[in-house]
Amino acid sequence: MTRVQEQTEGAVTVSISADGDGIEFSAGGDPVGILAGTIDGAGLGGDTQTLRDLGFVEGEESATLAGDRVSSGLGTVLLGTLQGGAGIGGSTLTVTDRDGDSVTVGNLDQLETLEELLVVVGSAMTGSNVDVSIRVNDEGNGLLVTDESDGTGNLQVSGDAAAGLGIANIDIASDVVQGENLQRQYVSMASPLSELNYGRGIGTGKFKITNGQGETQTINIGSDSKTLYDVMREINGIASGVQARLNDNGDGIIIEDTSPGTLPIKVESVSGSTARDLGILGEASEAGGSIDGSYEKVLDLDTSDSLDDVVGKINNSGFAVSASVLDTGSGGTPFRLVMSSEVSGLSGDLVVDTGGVDLGLATLTEARNAKVFIGEGDSRLLIESDSNQVEDVIAGLTLDLRAVSDGAVTVNVTRDESGIVESVESFVAAFNDVIDRINTYDTYDSETESRGPLLGDPTVSRVRSELYRALQQSAVGVETSYRYLSQVGIKVTTDGQIELDKAKFNAAYENDPEAVENLFAAFEQQGSSSREIAEGVTISEFNTTYTTLGFGDIFEQLANRMTNSVDGTITLADQQFETLLEAQDDRISRIDERLEAKRVRLQREFVAMEESLARLQSQQSSLGSMNQNMAIAGSLLG
């Protein structure tokens, strides 16, 4: 909302619709038109997708432009999120009960939620005496169709919306039919990486993608990647012969082979857990195939599988579930399959679809978030957490929830000066550890004449210099008592390490705690959305200017600049090393080719020499025979 108002300089305003389920654009009575922006070159169609996610269709124009519903409300889902985001793809549904009564319901494409659709269809069936009920199944991932007519004919469901609802081609003499998985989309290009992987987030790191021609590219996902779109853009912008997109089920990313090669594509981890967290670690089953990072796992079970076999397949699937066999010790079949989510809270809710086979599954422990009210009366706030810890509801405070209480619990917050000192000591230790590592790589022992692997490397020197420069500069825009780390007892020793003078730090904190806190944690920024490049010529962009920075953010930004996946200091150095390694590999390949050519030449010369020797030996043998024959002839003539 703020971005639109900034970009249009207030000409267009954005507001939440009256029903609270969508957004509206208005321009003070003037018509407002909306178009998708330009494609960013990543081949993702992100701008069109963003427009659709906001509830708008390209080309719409009105004085007040109201978008479609983007929030389903409680207890239901938007129809547009079904079938991986494709929607139900039709408008009519025909239901015939086993007694022969039938009804056709139309205009279903005008509805917005699954709940609305079920109510409309249910009312139509009731009005036409069709004794069928359609509801969401117990697993919550599909529909359950139940005939209640006591008839003997076939239960039938058809219509162009039936496939999108997972109940197509039903024509069976049965009272109950389990629909197919509706595949509700819950992953989009805008999904924050911190919320993926069952709420555990996607870690930073590198992975290699090898396409069908054997060409390999390294993808670096750093802290600057915030959404799944950033990851897909990184892959599509670097890797050739592969395409990253949302999978058809809308529950993950898929890597497809677009090269003419004959090898199956594969993804290998280089560092970190990024590829594993995205679910794309591994190799395609065939050339021209794909690697699907779906967060839904499908297991193939055989009729001959024992419980131990099933447990093994579940535990080896890479899914965030642990399975075991429980011996109840009772009855003729005391053994039970138990599955437990490895993810806490509602994010760990297990949905097990057995394909219509009744395995007698029962929920022993329901997935729930911890909930706590902050405040009292009507103004209190409900806070949820996927664990029994609630962080930063009150800045810098972590609440450990121990038990349920009927009454209010008072929390007294006091300053933990020992914790503050420990945090600063951790910073000092981390800085010294980095310097030690740098010195290990950039060292020379004159006695043993051994040298570090990066001795004399300019990147190492630059990183070291940047660290010391950041350490000795002043905090940005901080106007309180302390602006330098040396003022609160952090200083550089003669051996290049830093140390903390606790007495000086405690005295500074006692004198002005706010100033010490600002020194480390102050943070303010300003954003601009346009820039004038010439008189009367303005281009749109969004730049962030940091007006106030404490040392915590100073070092964080330094780390980001060094590790930025595009032009970071260490990233560029890493690319140079990779280029050198590739050059050496090419040189080795050329040497191998020359050696092979020389081997072939020498082998050919050796064979020719062997053949010549064989001919000489044959001639020698012939000459020996001639001499012998001549000697015999001479003796006869004599």
CATH value at residue 157: 3.30.70
What is the C-alpha to C-alpha distance for residues 437 and 306, in angstroms, rounded to an integer?
52
Q: Is the same domain home to 251 and 145?
A: no
| pLDDT value of position 49 | 63
| Band of pLDDT at residue 121, cut at 50, 70 and 90 | very high
Give the pLDDT mean for 530-558: 66
Beta-bridged to residue 528, according to DSSP, are: 543
CB 72 within 8 A of CB 20: no
- pLDDT above 70 for 58: no
Give the pLDDT mean for 23-31: 77
Cα R_g (the chain), whole angstroms? 36
Which one has a higher pLDDT value, 275 or 573?
Answer: 275
Whether residue 235 is contained in a domain is answered as: yes
Give the pLDDT mean for 82-98: 93
Whether residue 325 is contained in a domain is answered as: no
369 contacts: CB under 8 Å, gap ≥ 6: 345, 346, 384, 385, 386
| pLDDT value of position 39 | 47
Tens-digit pLDDT profile for residues 448-494: 878 877 787 888 888 888 888 888 888 888 888 898 999 999 999 88
Number of domains forming the structure of the chain: 6
The string over 456-486, giving b where at least 16 C-beta atoms fall within 10 Å of a residue's C-beta and e elsewhere, is ebebbeebbeebeebbeeebbebeeebbbbe
Domain that holds residue 386: 370-400
| pLDDT value of position 510 | 87
- pLDDT above 80 for 175: yes
CB 53 within 8 A of CB 188: yes
Q: Is the same domain home to 424 and 546?
A: yes
Q: Which position has the token pair 């006591």?
A: 150
Query: Which tokens is 169 given?
Result: 């081609």
| pLDDT value of position 54 | 73
Can you tell me whether residue 218 is helix, strand or coil?
Answer: strand
Q: Is the same domain home to 434 and 539?
A: yes
Give the pLDDT mean for 504-518: 88
Give the pLDDT mean for 541-558: 74
Beta-bridged to residue 543, according to DSSP, are: 528
| Band of pLDDT at residue 189, cut at 50, 70 and 90 | confident
Q: Is the same domain home to 425 and 555?
A: yes
CA 593-595-601 angle, 5° bins: 105
Whether residue 190 is contained in a domain is answered as: no
What is the C-alpha to C-alpha distance for residues 89 and 110, in angstroms, rounded to an integer?
11
Residue at a domain's end among 69, 88, 120: 69
| Band of pLDDT at residue 46, cut at 50, 70 and 90 | low
Query: Which tokens is 328 given?
Result: 């109840």
CB 173 within 8 A of CB 156: no
Residue at a domain's end among 253, 271, 294: 294
| pLDDT value of position 542 | 47
What is each CA distance from 539 to 3, 504, 529, 546, in whole angstroms? 15, 50, 9, 21
Residue at a domain's end among 48, 69, 90: 69
487 contacts: CB under 8 Å, gap ≥ 6: 481, 508, 519
| pLDDT value of position 40 | 52
| pLDDT value of position 531 | 54
| Band of pLDDT at residue 44, cut at 50, 70 and 90 | low
Which amino acid type is present at position 491? K
Q: Is the same domain home to 140 and 273?
A: no
What is the C-alpha to C-alpha distance for residues 318 and 325, in angstroms, rounded to an integer?
18
Structure-derived torsion over alpha carbons of residues 273, 275, 278, 279, reported in degrees to the nearest 10: -110
Can you tell me whether residue 324 is helix, strand or coil?
Answer: strand
What is each CA distance from 514 to 128, 416, 480, 482, in whole angstroms? 73, 14, 8, 10
Q: Is the same domain home to 99 and 150?
A: yes
Structure-derived torsion over alpha carbons of residues 383, 387, 389, 392, reported in degrees to the nearest 10: -50
- Beta strands 176-178 and 205-210, pairing class: unpaired
Q: Is the same domain home to 35 and 110?
A: no
Q: Is the same domain home to 549 and 451?
A: yes
The pLDDT mean for the chain works out to 84
Q: What percent of the chain has pLDDT over 90?
A: 30
238 contacts: CB under 8 Å, gap ≥ 6: 217, 219
Q: What percent of the chain has pLDDT over 70?
A: 91
Q: Is the same domain home to 35 and 152?
A: no
Q: Is the same domain home to 530 and 632?
A: no
Structure-derived torsion over alpha carbons of residues 499, 503, 507, 508, reported in degrees to the nearest 10: 0
CA 316-322-326 angle, 5° bins: 115
| pLDDT value of position 38 | 52
Whether residue 42 is contained in a domain is answered as: yes
Q: Is the same domain home to 599 and 546?
A: no
Q: Is the same domain home to 240 and 287?
A: yes
Whether residue 318 is contained in a domain is answered as: no
